[in-house]
A = this chain, B = another copy of it.
């Protein structure tokens, strides 16, 4: 990614109560509370925390789920492409795929046209796992997006898509 420094951002520390209705609500009046940077960080923190919780029974997390989803997508992504798309370092992809491969969800196949590159493909059991994981993630999304109407959710998605994928940055 764009920054040579490691990534701090906001964490995912759980609380018994909730993300919003705690004593810190006083801080909502702050300038920070209306900065997009902070809002996306907090939204993703809440969202991935919930998704991770839902994925835990499947022994998956958001990162491995993303890899699995792309392996199941039929696009035959290479590890390099996965790294770029998920904004992870190529070295992180290695261990992510190692673990998925060890449990038989995914296979590394060498690309016939470029033998340096390895294509990541899902196995049958990987596709089954993905089907269940997808339900778990969708449920998490439903909870996270609960404050928004169906139309607003689409609106949010559309706006985020334009920010997350800039045409020719």
Contacts and interface: CB of A to CB of B under 8 A. Distances in A.
Interface of A: 1-15, 17-53, 56, 61-64, 66, 69-70, 73, 75, 77, 80-89, 92, 134, 137, 140-141, 144-148, 152-153, 155-157, 159-169
The 6 closest A-B pairs by CB, nearest first: A18-B169, A3-B49, A8-B63, A24-B85, A24-B84, A30-B73
Contact of A3 (B53, B66, B161, B163): B53
Most chain-B Cβ atoms within 10 A of its Cβ — which of A4, A32, A144, A147? A32
Given A30-B69, A82-B24, A164 B39 contact: yes
| Best-buried of A6, A38, A155 by chain B (most CB within 10 Å) | A38
Contacts of A40: 40, 43-44, 47, 160
A39 B157 contact: yes
A52 B8 contact: yes
Contacts of A1: 11-15, 19, 45-46, 49
Q: Which of A2, A3, A56, A69 lies at the interface centre, i.e. has the most chain B CB atoms within 10 A of its CB?
A: A2
Given A73-B31, A169-B18, A37 B8 contact: no
Given A2-B46, A36-B145, 5 more contacts: A7-B49, A32-B73, A36-B141, A36-B160, A148-B159
